[in-house]
Amino acid sequence: MRYRAVLHLFAVIVVLLIIWGVSFKYSDVREKARSILGLSNTVTTTPNVKTAAPEPKCDLSRVCPPDHFALYIRSGAANVVGPKICFEGKIIMSHVLNNVGPGLNIVVINGENGVVEKSDYLNMRTGNPEDILAYLKEIKPGMIVLLASFDDVTHKMTDEMREVFVGMGSTLIKSVKHRDSWVFAGRAGMETKSLYEKQAVNDEKTNIYEGWPNLVEVGGCFPRTPTDAHKP
């Protein structure tokens, strides 16, 4: 009886070893097959990547739509602190950058792609009126024009210059007088009334600075120029 029990136990062990061997071999084959097929047993999880939300540009309160440009314009304060012009999150002209001057501070931008074509200040105290007018007339239709006053803009201002600004959408330029503060954003050749224009009148009763009115500012989302806007 003892011999049969031992034999039975031995048979059980052999069967278990065979089962283990087959299982191990099958597992090895399976792993090789998965490796060949480029599969993996490792469980991977897709990381929860959060896309950063776009932030407003030029310190605006909201993000502009894709077909608009962000802009902010502030006039100079008296004849002491220069103006500031920001476009699409970049400060183009400012007192800190030391690229502003007395008169009209101007930035000309390609209205379709937002490329800044040029930025200058037109000296309305000592500049040549003919040169200033020629500069303004060279601005191509469809271009976005940003303007900020500093000091005084009327010394060399002519009626013909004012008409050029009217053709860009200005409705206040004809009333801008000595030492008035003025900011404006328009589009050359469109003659559509601009929503981005402000004026502070030089008035002893309301002036903030001695002999000077308060500064003015505008900001918002300016629409791109339609691609066919400048075509005949």
The pLDDT tens digits of the residues spanning 30-40 come to 444 444 444 44
Please work out, in degrees rounded to the nearest 5, the angle formed at the alpha carbon of residue 66 by the alpha carbons of 60 and 71.
35
Q: Does pLDDT of 109 surpass 70?
A: yes
Mean pLDDT of the chain: 84
Mean pLDDT, residues 86-98: 97
Q: Which residue has the higher pLDDT, 11 or 37?
A: 11
CB 72 within 8 A of CB 86: yes
Model confidence band, residue 49 (pLDDT cutoffs 50, 70, 90): low
The mean per-residue pLDDT over the stretch 154-178 comes to 96
Q: How far apart are CA 210 and CA 90, in angstroms?
A: 32
Q: How confident is the model at residue 53 (pLDDT cuts 50, 70, 90)?
A: confident
pLDDT at 215 over 70: yes
Residue pLDDT, tens place only, 137-150: 999 999 999 999 99
- Of 182, 187, 152, 181, the C-alpha closest to 167 is 187
Pull the structure tokens for residue 61: 């309160």
Q: How confident is the model at residue 191 (pLDDT cuts 50, 70, 90)?
A: confident
Mean pLDDT, rounded, for 194-200: 97
The tokens describing 145, both together, are: 């024009």
Question: How many C-alpha atoms does 202 have within 13 Å on its Cβ side?
Answer: 18
pLDDT at residue 116 above 60? yes
